[in-house]
Amino acid sequence: MRISSGTIVLGLALAAPAALAADPIKIGVIAETSAISGVGIPNAAKMAAEEINAAGGVNGRPIEIVDYDDHNSAVDAVRAFQRAAQQDKVSAVIASYISEVVLALEPWAGRLKMPLITPGAASNEITKRVHDDYDHLKYVFHGYLASTQIADVVCEAGKSLMVGDLHAKTSVIMSEDAAWTIPLDEEYLKCLPAAGIKVLDHIRLSPDTTDFTPIFNKIEGEKPDVIVTGISHVGVQPTVQWQQQQVPIPMYGVSSQATNSTFWKDTNGATDGVIFNMFSAPDVAVTPKTIPFAKAYQAKYGNLPGYAAYTSYDDVYMWADAIRKAGSTDPDKIVEAMEKTEYVGTIGHIEFLPKDNTFAHGMRIGPGYITGLMVQWQKGNPVTVWPANVASGKMTFPEFIKLPQ
> Residue 235: what pLDDT?
66
Q: In what order do the strands lie in the sheet with 275-278?
A: 198-205, 170-176, 226-231, 251-255, 275-278, 373-378, 381-386
The amino acid at 190? K
Which contacts qualify for 32-35: CB closer than 8 Å, 24 or more apart?
32/69, 32/70, 32/71, 32/72, 32/96, 32/97, 32/98, 32/101, 33/67, 33/69, 34/69, 34/71, 34/72, 35/72, 35/97
**H helices present in 22-88, as ranges:** 40-54, 74-86
Closest alpha carbon to 286 in 362, 384, 379: 384
> Residue 20: what pLDDT?
36
Burial environment of residue 324 by CB neighbours within 10 A (0 to 12, 13 to 18, 19 or more): middle
CB-based contact 81:105 (threshold 8 Å): yes
380 alpha carbon, distance to own chain's centre: 22
Burial environment of residue 63 by CB neighbours within 10 A (0 to 12, 13 to 18, 19 or more): buried
Residues in the chain, how many? 405
Q: pLDDT by residue for the chain (405 residues), tens digit each?
A: 333 333 333 333 333 333 335 799 999 999 998 877 789 999 999 999 999 999 999 999 999 999 999 999 999 999 999 999 999 999 999 999 999 999 999 999 999 999 999 999 989 999 999 999 999 999 999 999 999 999 999 999 999 999 999 999 999 999 999 989 999 999 999 999 999 999 999 999 888 888 999 999 999 999 999 999 999 877 688 899 999 999 999 999 999 888 888 889 989 999 999 999 998 888 888 999 999 999 999 999 998 898 899 999 999 999 999 999 999 999 999 999 999 999 999 999 999 999 999 999 999 988 889 989 999 999 999 999 999 988 999 999 999 999 887
| Rounded-to-integer distance, Cα 177 and Cα 175, Å | 6
For the chain, how big is the Rg over CA atoms in Å? 23
Closest alpha carbon to 121 in 95, 160, 152, 90: 95
Instruction: Determine the angle formed by the axes of helices 290-301 and 307-326, rounding to 10 degrees.
Output: 110
| Rounded-to-integer distance, Cα 305 and Cα 256, Å | 12
Backbone angles phi, psi at 226, to 5 degrees: -155, 145
| Rounded-to-integer distance, Cα 169 and Cα 289, Å | 38
Q: What single DSSP character describes residue 20? A: H
CB-based contact 294:24 (threshold 8 Å): no
The amino acid at 78? V
**H helices present in 97-222, as ranges:** 99-112, 124-132, 134-137, 147-158, 181-195, 213-222
| Rounded-to-integer distance, Cα 355 and Cα 392, Å | 38
> Residue 252: what pLDDT?
97
What 3-state class would DSSP assign to 222? helix
Closest alpha carbon to 244 in 203, 212, 209: 212
Per-residue HEC secondary structure of 291-317 comes to HHHHHHHHHHHCCCCCHHHHHHHHHHH
Residue 202's CB: how many other CB atoms inside 10 A? Answer: 15
> Residue 251: what pLDDT?
96
